[in-house]
Structure 1
Amino acid sequence: MVKLHFHPVWDSKLTKEQKDELVKILKSLSKPSGDLEAALVRGKYKKNGGLVATVLLLNGREKRLEIGRIKVQITDDKGVVVAEETFDPSLHLEPDTAQPWSFVFSKESVRIPNANPMIWKINLLINGQI
């Protein structure tokens, strides 16, 4: 079973109710296939024109996973790119763990400023592969 892990900053800022909600979301997901996966928890546009995607990063591998430079792509339900940006979160995920994280996209990386966040999907591109 995949366990939920919190980065120290998240652990100190989230309420018990918020943590419980993330546990509930994690339980509703299928076990990761072995690669790094992300499940979109919440998406929203920012007042400055950027957007925020809060996700659960999932490591289904049997070994620790280091997450360095990664391209993150938000698409709509038809596969049209809403936003795309490269991040360097410098995170590590232990085997069979999930960790909440937020990717904050700049205004310049947003291609569609009015797509419904309820239909967003998230893709992680590692070495050019989704």
Structure 2
Amino acid sequence: MGLFDLFKKGDKVGKDSAVDSSSVVKTSGDTSKKGANRDVITKLSFHPEWDVPQEQKYVFNFLANDLAPLKPNQLSLSAINIEPSLANGSWNVKAFFRSSLSEAIELGEIELLILDKDDNRIASHYFDFKELGVIPAESARPWIFTFPASSITADEVPEEGWKISFNLLSLRGHQLDLDDTWKKQLPKDQQEKLAEIVKTLPKLGKTEVNFTGLQAKLNDDGSFHASIFIRNGHEKAINLEQLPLEIMDARNVLVAKGSFKLDPVLTVQPNTTKPWTFIFPKELVTAEGADLSRWTARVPQ
């Protein structure tokens, strides 16, 4: 079956999922409020490498005429249909990717979601939007997004009312999650420095939780203070009630070891990093001769 065979005369445009373009891409276009409420009718646009037969152009034009207008500076995914593959269980999701920007854009990797009529996630997968090519200003480009079987959690193709949408959480990027106590104690410039450090840290896996050392200090009373970045790559918040923790110095020698009861529970929001300071009392510290030029924090298995 060829690409164009998947688009049929009987197809209909379904639900639309539009977002403000600023959450997806930085542009130099006019984002002022002037004309912000005008309707933008997107024009049909084909990938430059597509050689579209005349009959198929009729099908695309018919579908494009059913698209609702957008507001300026929006990006949208307009659902058409899902064609399941009997060969490998993947879903070929037909949709229009639309832009109401006043300039052409080219995007990179973006995670897309399939949501059922009740907004439950039933599939998620990353797509390289560079494959769609440059999207002209105020245009609608038909495309097929293939969700592999491994990315699908539903047993069957959803009923009417489903939609394809951007995962705004992944688009937002990994951010600093600063507790209110830290916000009160730290000057604004130091908060900004922490946010910059978070941006430089290695990218987390989608289900990864990571502990990264920030600052360590051995006090005169023999206690050890370790400030640590708790990094949550999940799309759901994590709650820490009890945390066993070990600190290793540059020689990978144990410096401190203890278990911390967190009351109230320490919550780290999805796709964020939260700094927290753990104080090891003297009896849990073996720091004599420790090399703290580099150190690591780890949760013992």
TM (normalized to structure 2)? 0.40
- Partner-residue secondary structure (3-state), 2:293: helix
Report the residue type matching 2:241 in the other structure: G
- Say if 2:272 is the partner of 1:60: no
Q: 1:124 Cα shift?
A: 2.1
**Which residue in 1 is equivalent to 2:176?**
4
Gapped regions of structure 1 (runs ≥ 5)? none
TM (normalized to structure 1)? 0.89
Contact 1:75–1:120 (CA<8 Å) still a contact in 2? yes
- Mapped to 1, the partners of 2:241 and 2:209 lie a distance apart of 12
- Mapped to 1, the partners of 2:299 and 2:190 lie a distance apart of 24
Q: 1:78 Cα shift?
A: 3.0
Equivalent residues, number: 126
**Which residue in 2 is equivalent to 1:17?**
189
Report the residue type matching 2:282 in the other structure: K
Larger Rg: 2
- Mapped to 1, the partners of 2:223 and 2:211 lie a distance apart of 20
Aligned CA-pair RMSD: 1.3
Q: 1:68 Cα shift?
A: 1.1
**Which residue in 1 is equivalent to 2:55?**
none
- Structure with bigger RCO (C-alpha 8 Å, 6+ apart): 1
**Which residue in 1 is equivalent to 2:217?**
44
Q: 1:80 Cα shift?
A: 1.6
- Mapped to 1, the partners of 2:291 and 2:197 lie a distance apart of 20
- Partner-residue secondary structure (3-state), 1:68: strand
- Mapped to 1, the partners of 2:281 and 2:289 lie a distance apart of 15
- Mapped to 2, the partners of 1:16 and 1:43 lie a distance apart of 22
Q: 1:14 Cα shift?
A: 0.5
